[in-house]
Structure 1
Amino acid sequence: MSWRDELRPPSFRGVPFRIEANTRFGGRRGFTYEFAKSERSLDEDLGRRVTRVVVSAYVIGDDYTDQAEALEDALNREGGGTLILPTLGSMFMRPDAPFSRIETREQGGIARFEISFVDAGGSTSQLFTENTQAAANTAASTLSDDTDLSAGNDTDWL
C-alpha cells in the first residue's frame, strides 16, 4: 500500500478543511551545565517536549465563508479536540496560539488559516495530587501532642 492510499481527510473537531502543509515539532528538553575554566560540560535530560503542530490550512468553494466560520468556531471552543492530518493521523490537540485567517482580493472563494496546536493529552488535575506540606504539618502537630502526653509531668519523675 502506498502512502497516498493512507492519507486521511484533515479535520479539527469534525470540521473539515484542506491542507497546504503541516509541521510537527518534538524532541527532548534538556539543560547543559558549562563549568567555568573547564572544558567539561554536563547535560541533564528533562524529558520529552510537548508535541506541537503548525498547520497551513484552507477552505475553498462557493460556501467558503460558512466553512471558515465553522472552522473558527471549532478553534475558539475551549479545551482540546481531535485533530486529523493526512500523514500524521489522529491526535488530541488544542489551539496553542492565535490563529490567522487570510482572505485576499486576488483569490476569491478561499480562506487560508495558519494554526498552531499543542498536545492536549494531559490535564492539570494530574499535576496536583496531595498537599504534602499540610500533611506534614498535621503529622508534626499530632506527634508533638503525643510526645507531651508520653513524657508525663515533673511529679511523675519524683
Structure 2
Amino acid sequence: MAASSQSAAQLRLMSDLKSIRQSPPEGCSASPHSDDNLFVWNATIFGPDETPWEGGIFSLRITFGEHYPEKPPRVRFTTDMFHPNVYTDGTLCLDLLQDQWSPCHNVSSLLTSIQSLLTDPNPASPANPDAAQLYQNDRPAYDQRVRRLSRKSLE
C-alpha cells in the first residue's frame, strides 16, 4: 500500500505497534489480530504480582476506528472477568476510554491503565454492581473470587 493512501489512523497504529514491540509495557502485550487488518488487535494483560490477579492471563480485543487517535478504541475483555469496572460482556468502564481520552495515549499507555485498574478499581462508578459491592463490603470474598478467575484464565 502506498503511503499516500494510508489513513492517519493506520499510520498511528503502525507507530503504536512499532513502539509496543520495541518497548512493551511490563506485563502486557498486544498486536493486530491479523496481518491484513490493523484496526483489530488482540491484547494480553498478566495479573500483577502480589495481587489476587497474580498468575492470571487476561485477553482483550481492541477495536480502533478511522478516527483513532482522536477518538478512543473500543476495548473488551474476552476472558471472563469479575471486576467493579468491567461489564458482564467484558466492556470496560474506564474514564480513559470515555471523557478522559486524549490522542497522546497509545496502546501501551492504555494497557498499562487497564492493568492498574485491575488492582485499583473505582467502585463508585460500577459497571458490575455485584463486584463493586463485594469489593467494598467483603474484600476477602472478592479476592478469593478473583483468584479463582485468575486460575481459570490459564485453562
Shorter-chain TM band: under 0.3
Q: TM-score, normalised by structure 2?
A: 0.25
User: 1 or 2, which has the higher strand percentage?
Assistant: 1
Q: Which has the larger radius of gyration?
A: 1
Structure with a larger share of its residues in helix: 2
**Normalised TM-score (structure 1):** 0.25
